[in-house]
């Protein structure tokens, strides 16, 4: 049985800025950061990533330059947003998953439509059920929270099934209870099609590269 190998992605390097060293050990290159109480905003490229301040251990200057001073944003500042692809990559880096895998799940779930709502009530880019989102402490209608929570949930499922990709994807699609009932991927055409589509999309060479290994039912 082959299993998915989890890894920390490597952030793309920019010409200037600083490094945010996360509690997970990952070093994320950012242009600058702003501290607002218990929250911190990291600016990278054309957007921003917001997280709890205690998730960042420290900042390291690039090329020996002193890091920027953390300041609170003014009330009139325009909020910057990331594209769904950028949100996927940021969440993948945060939770140690291949960016291409997270993007492939988003494509299968919502085709990158942030306002997507399924007939069953699943919401957003990663199609979180409201109850699942509540359990993860996220607002499913907020794209950044949706992708962050969905990626965290996917990581938890991969850990639950010891890295077995198909088991984790089947649980994401049909629920862990169904996977436990069938001791593997359930014989549901929708779920079988789902896990195959995600794996096929990832293996096709999307961002993050092809998987080191895959799990078959």
Residue 22 lies in a domain: no
Q: Mean pLDDT check: name the lowest of 33-42, 61-70, 102-111, 117-126.
A: 61-70
Residue 108 lies in a domain: yes
Which tokens sit at 19? Answer: 């490094």
pLDDT, averaged across the chain: 79
Active site residues: 109
Does the pLDDT value for residue 6 go beyond 60? no
d(CA 93, CA 21): 12
DSSP state of 62: S
Residue 162 lies in a domain: yes
Residue 177 lies in a domain: yes
Higher pLDDT, residue 12 or 57? 57
The total number of structural domains in the chain stands at 1
Q: What is the CATH number of the domain that holds 94?
A: 1.10.530.10
d(CA 36, CA 26): 22
């Amino acid at each position: 049985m082959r299993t998915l190998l989890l890894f920390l992605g490597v952030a793309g390097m920019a010409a200037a800025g600083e490094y945010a060293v996360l509690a997970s050990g990952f070093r994320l290159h950012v242009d600058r950061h702003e501290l607002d109480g218990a929250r911190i905003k990291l600016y990278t490229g054309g957007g921003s990533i917001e997280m709890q301040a205690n998730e960042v251990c420290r900042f390291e200057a690039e090329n020996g330059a002193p890091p920027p001073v953390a300041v609170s944003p003014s009330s009139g500042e325009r909020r910057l947003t990331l594209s769904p692809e950028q949100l996927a990559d940021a969440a993948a880096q945060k939770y140690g998953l291949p960016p291409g895998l997270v993007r492939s799940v988003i494509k299968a779930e919502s085709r990158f439509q942030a306002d997507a709502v399924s007939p069953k009530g699943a919401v957003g880019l990663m199609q979180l059920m409201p109850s699942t989102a509540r359990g993860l402490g996220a607002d499913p209608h907020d794209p950044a929270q949706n992708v962050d929570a969905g990626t965290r949930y996917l990581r938890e499922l991969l850990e639950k099934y010891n890295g077995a990709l198909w088991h984790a994807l089947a649980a994401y699609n049909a629920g862990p209870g169904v996977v436990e009932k069938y001791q593997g991927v359930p014989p549901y055409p929708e779920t079988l099609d789902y896990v195959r589509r995600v794996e096929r999309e990832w293996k096709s060479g999307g961002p993050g590269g092809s998987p080191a290994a895959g799990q078959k039912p």
